[in-house]
Structure 1
Amino acid sequence: MDKVITADDAVVGIADGASIAVGGFGLCGIPTTLIAAVQRTGVSDLQVVSNNCGVDDWGLGPLLADHRIARATSSYVGENKEFARQYLSGELEVELCPQGSLAERLRAGGCGIPAFYTPAGVGTQIAEGGLPWRYAADGTVMVASPAKETREFAGRPHVLEEAIVTDFALVAAAKGDRHGNLVFDKSARNFNPLCAMAGRITIAEVEDLVEPGEIAPDDIHLPGVFVQYVVHAPGVEKRIEKRTVSNPGAAA
């Protein structure tokens, strides 16, 4: 039951072309230790599922800059200039998905639900197809999204979204025990539990590693049944995506 290993040992099974769900929202709650370990392996052609792709020099940004990511399923990618460049130049395939739908697709994958209907995306290219997934070098669309099944419920149209299940999941937690039970800190809870549920093999980095029984059952945000490996990662650097400060003298 002791699932604690090193970061490098935890990611050794990730091979070229693997699909990986990565927790975090912006730079909040991202598994930086595990991402760095993946980068050290040299694997490429990764298919990443993450709300966003970090910034140019942090989060998933370094993997992207090294051309290790072949495909990204994301909601918000506007803070990464290299992401935009690779997408528009045809180097990266991108599936954009409404944020709530992405969250539910991950949760559904972890619950064994193959698909679900949602009103999000009805009347747009999300439902009707034609959203550019990959561009050619000349700027034309090489791969476009397919049309999705729609159906009315209570007189309102809904689009069918398929669940997401990935080969691996990388998540970050504030506290965890050796059995893989996890506690997330405030907004860092974001996509982490959902990604953990969606991964066939889930690796969690935890800042505070405790012994089994030290976390009260009612305080556990994600039970250890979803986690295969635990990596102790204290003192991880945390960056702010956009720092906004006020100028007290401005009003005067």
Structure 2
Amino acid sequence: MGSKIVKMNSKTSVMTRILILVVVLLTGCDMGYDGKVRVVYEPAIDAREAAALSDIKRSGVVAEIAKFLNNEFYLADNLLIRIGSPTGPQFDNRYGEIEIPYRLITETKSTFRRGHPGKSDEEIYNASMDVLMHVLLHEVGHALIDLYDLPVVRNEEKEVDDLAAILLVEMFEDGGKIVMNAADSFGLRSGSESRAMRGRAYAGEHGWSIERFYNMACLVYGKSPNKMNQKQSLVAIAARDVGECRERYKTRKEYWISTLWPQLRNKSYWK
């Protein structure tokens, strides 16, 4: 979308100039933001990568996320989603691209198989694609912070975890289930992680997997406590009371919507 030049003569009041600027910022229109999201799939180099590539394309998850971003946001620049990168998952601001390696799918499926030996291959596949969707939106959060130079008041990893969960439960069918499967993957990894990290003072910039697990579950519970089954509800509030989860979802949603408001296309949804 191209930018529009507003011509004003010398008699235009300062107040009028301010009002025009406010309208531009609040509506997100005429800001010159016409970036688009596109997707590139790198060739698989072995059978495991080929299987992961097949899973990803079959799911349609990446195309769905790209369409969602193009429809819902005024993007300040083009954004590339590179599937099959040698590094990642990460957002590389040098090139403006989200990088997702095929090993994410391979390792996630292995994690679910070990943690849930009774689940079918199709259930493992579906849960792994839910993790991919959450990871993509997590990295989208990093991209939006970079594209718009957004302020980060807390740890950035926690902020974008919250954003990914909020977008999923608000904008995607079965979003709560998607977030819970992503949270489950962190929960399953937490046992081996705690053994590996025993004696260390911290778990890196992403935080402990078990902490991310509870935070994500709490957000889902805070949004729709009546839609969670009994086991999920107990998990979600294990470290927090019901009121805290509801309040946390409310405050994190308000923070992110107010922060992204100028860049949102579908503002009527969030009012």
Task: Answer yes or no: same fold by TM over 0.5.
Answer: no
**Higher gyration radius (CA):** 2
Higher RCO (CA 8 Å, separation ≥ 6 residues)? 1
Q: Which has the higher strand share?
A: 1
TM-score (norm 2): 0.26
More helix by share: 2
> Could you tell me the TM-score, scaled by structure 1's length?
0.27
